[in-house]
Amino acid sequence: MNRSIDAHLLRIMRKIHRVTGISLFAFFFIVALTGLLLGWKKHSGGLILPKSYKGTSTDLKDWLSIDSLHRNACKILKDSVSPTTPTEIERIDIRQDKGMVKFIFAANYIGIQLDGATGRLLHIETRRSDFIENVHDGSILDKYLHTSNGEIKLIYTTVMGLALLTFTVTGFWLWYGPKRMRRKAKNE
């Protein structure tokens, strides 16, 4: 490649890098900020990721049935949070080593931690980490717009992944291209 082709390629890479950066600045800012928060969630003193409390027994044969625990969690949700809060479950997190079951509800990022053996309430939590994760991966839009199979998340992660790949390639060339041109100039 001659020097003029290298210079032309460098200008193209600089333009792609600049236009991509300007176009997606807000998204990169959100992804970076939420990624930072998610990285620190276990070290936030319970602010981002709630503490997991311990139940009375780690032996599963001492535990109540999941159905019984679920009914108890729904009752606690209605009594302690709001009688109108939907009881649809997003997931159940069983922590045998802690003797505890978490019921994570789909609405309002609420979690109920119960003692697996007694069904006693251990903690009602606000799942800030789940909210941050949904913002980070774009699935919050799927949740609020009620899309069926995560189409917005798929598009968002594809665009952001391709943009990061584009930044990597163009950023490398913006670093390497001038070095290559100087080396060629010395050899001419």
Q: What is the pLDDT of residues 60-73, one digit of tens each?
A: 999 999 999 999 99
CATH 3.30.1370 fits 51-126, yes or no: no
173 CB neighbour count, 10 Å cutoff = 19
**pLDDT score of 17:** 86
The structural domains of the chain, with segments of one domain joined by +, span 1-48+127-188, 51-126
Q: What is the pLDDT of residues 79-138, one digit of tens each?
A: 999 999 999 999 999 999 999 999 999 888 999 999 999 999 999 999 999 999 999 999
The two structure tokens encoding residue 104: 């994570």
- Asked whether residue 41 carries a pLDDT value surpassing 80, the answer given is yes
DSSP annotation of 40 reads T
Question: Distance between CA atoms of 177 and 60, rounded to whole angstroms?
Answer: 62
Angle 86-80-123 from CA coordinates, rounded to 5°: 100
